[in-house]
Amino acid sequence: MSTDDNNAYGDLDKSKGVVMKELMLGNKAVARGLYEAGVCFVSSYPGTPSTEITEEAVRYDDIYCEWAPNEKVAMESAFGASLAGKRAFCAQKHVGLNVAADPLFTMSYTGVNAGFVVVVADDAGCHSSQNEQDSRHYAIAAKVPMLEPSDSAEALAFTKLAYELSEKYDTPVLLKMCTRVAHSQSIVEPGEREEHTKPYEKNIAKYVMMPGNAKKRHPIVEERTRALTEYAETGPLNRIEKGTGDVGIITCSTSYQYVKEVFGDEAHILKLGMTNPLPVELIRNFAAQVKELYVVEELDSIIEDHVKSLGIQVSGSNLLPRIDEFSQNLIAKAFGRETTSGTALEDAIPPRPPVMCAGCPHRGMFYSLKKRNCTVLGDIGCYTLGAVAPLNTIELTLCMGASIGAAHGFNKMLGKASEGKTVAVIGDSTFMHSGMTGLANVAYNQSNSTIVILDNSITGMTGHQQNPTTGLNIKGEPAGKIDLEALCRAMGFRRIRVVDPYQLAECDTAIKEELAAEEPSIIISRRPCALLKHVKHKPPLAVDPEKCIGCKSCMRIGCPAISMKNGKAVVDATQCVGCNVCSQLCPKQAFSSTAN
């Protein structure tokens, strides 16, 4: 067999046993690492920028993968798999780890059976998140090791190494990704899978964390941190790259790449692949070799504070921002180096914020809520876009599931003044994630609240993942299906109604009647996401310019397929899916289907 240049990269050239290089997304490289490390179980809840790890892992037949209802359940399920003796994994975004923090902190005490690795993906720059929290604090607080890859090759290698460390030191290991590592492609060399399984053995003192046992596990955790610190001093994850000149820079993750881009070999670099626990002697020795010492790290000054705590003089926070992500120009500027710049036009360039898609089923419901001047307490999902112009309807977005709890507290305090006009809106996936417990509170403590479940039959924002209400599993195969109406009835709600958000009159009546009711109520606004492949679209609409009077009534729904040209409404046929919501607003019946 000869090497065939037409082979896709990543294919094995079996005649030589050589693995070809492949350009791979950071998240896909983690999934490849899971495969090679012999991982058998993956359970996650989607969240940008972590989602693709689980979506890529499911392509390997040797790995069982699932979407769990939320991150806490995912982590507990993965822990169960580790306990059973199979290498296990879960992934989440930074805020997902807030949800899963409870099991993490005590898993630190129990340790693991088979290796257990958890990805947490930070989002410096808030590309797709509600905050910019730095997950390294969790590693410190939970006393578990954290590894931070800086590109795809490291993502693969660190994932495999994380499993070795997990089993050697009997600990869950956090693998911290960030948007620029998770969503960048760089070159990797895939390897082979190795199986690793262990028997399950009953061990009450290790796994039953009641006070007497937990107290005995805590010293083991402290000793483990001491041993891991020793590993950090000499292990392969932290390395010094000798440079020229007097400047020394301690850095990690994607910041390392920006530092290399700016300084090349002109600075000495201590590249930390393990950011908890941090080494002591390695840093002292490095600091002693350079005249000026800097730390370059995104978000909080965790490494810098550690260096300072060793009594070493260091700069970083005084030069670099603690907000947003870095780039090569940002670092060059901070160090007084030459930066590049380009030309701009004098024109004001209008912003292009994300919008609800043409045919989005959320639009009709938000228009109806706006029309009734409702106070809308929102949640996390595509429908958060109900807060932007021209709908401007959502008045609160906090975290997964918060809409229902917030509406409950709001109505309890304002009573009649708010009950008749306040609603919580929450998507089907977010409701399964953590809306159910909020709803239990409404049912139990009886606030007169109206909850709108925006059921688009998918987890939309993260790119169409199945959830417990869709009846399909991560592979699109038939699975259990939770009946939302039956669930709400079981909690004791009597007023539950289902509406089609493409029918504005139906939405309006439901909102009016449920807000007027003297008891808690649920409106399920049900229609699948217009982007789903199985959703059949109607032919696009067109505007009859003779009938259009240019009143802009149709513009009030903020559909990206409608614009005004020469005083008349025009429909972009490439975007329009024929949902007909605009047509219900037209006083002159100017819209008609192009099918006729």
Partner 1 sequence: METKNIIIVGVGGQGSLLASKLLGYLLLKQGYDVKVSEVHGMSQRGGSVVTYVRFGDRVFSPVVDKGEADFIVSFEILETARWLSYLKPGGQIVTNTQQIDPMPVITGAAEYPAELVEKIKRKGLKIDAMDCLSLAREAGSPKAVNIVLLGRLSHYFDIEDAAWQEALSANVPPKFLELNKKAFALGKSLTQ
d(CA 408, CA 422): 10
**Position among 382, 400, 523, 579 found at the interface with partner 1 (CB under 8 A):** 382
Structure tokens at 354: 């994300």
Identify which of residues 234 and 563 has a Cβ nearer to partner 1 in the complex. Answer: 563
| Closest CB to partner 1 among residues 472, 555 | 555
Q: Give the DSSP per-residue string, 479-507.
A: -----HHHHHHHTT--EEEEE-TT-HHHH
* CB closer to partner 1, 80 vs 545: 545
- The residue from 342, 476, 478, 480 that contacts partner 1 (CB under 8 A) is 342
Alpha-carbon distance of 14 to 446, in angstroms, equals 66
Instruction: Give yes or no for residue 128 binding partner 1 (CB under 8 A).
Output: yes
Site string for partner 1, 11-30 (x = CB under 8 A): ----------x-x-x-----
β pairing state of 591-593 and 541-543:
antiparallel
Of 15, 344, 476, 477, the one binding partner 1 (CB under 8 A) is 344
Cβ of residue 190: shortest distance to partner 1, in angstroms? 14
The site for partner 1, by CB under 8 A, has a size of 62
- The two three-digit tokens of residue 5, written as one number: 């240049």
97 binds partner 1 (CB under 8 A): no
566 binds partner 1 (CB under 8 A): no
Output the smallest distance, CB 359 to partner 1, in A.
12
Shortest spacing between CB 153 and partner 1, in angstroms: 11
- SS3 labels along 163-181: HHHHHHCCCCEEEEEEHHH
Of 343 and 589, nearer to partner 1 (C-beta) is: 343
Q: How far is the CB of 572 from partner 1 (least distance, A)?
A: 8
Q: Would you count residue 180 as binding partner 1 (CB under 8 A)? A: yes
The stretches of 47-129 forming alpha helices (DSSP H) are 51-57, 71-83, 94-110
Classify the phi-psi angles of 452: left when phi > 0, otherwise alpha if psi is within -120 to 50, otherwise beta. Answer: beta
Q: Which of 340, 566, 589, 596 binds partner 1 (CB under 8 A)?
A: 340
Footprint of partner 1 on residues 51-70 (CB under 8 A)? 51-52
Cα distances (Å, whole numbers) of residue 57 to 52, 157, 416, 489 = 8, 16, 51, 37
Give, for 306, the enclosing helix (H) or strand (E).
helix 302-309
Q: Which two tokens stand for residue 536?
A: 């059949």
| Residue 349 sits in the site that holds partner 1 (CB under 8 A) | yes
Check binding of 338 to partner 1 (CB under 8 A). Answer: no
CA distances (Å), 7 to each of 12, 33, 47, 249, 309, in order? 9, 22, 33, 41, 53
Interface ranges with partner 1 (CB under 8 A): 5-6, 8-9, 21, 23, 25, 48-49, 51-52, 127-128, 151, 180, 183-187, 254, 257-258, 260-261, 327-329, 339-345, 347-357, 382, 385, 388-390, 461-463, 552, 555, 558, 560, 562-564, 574
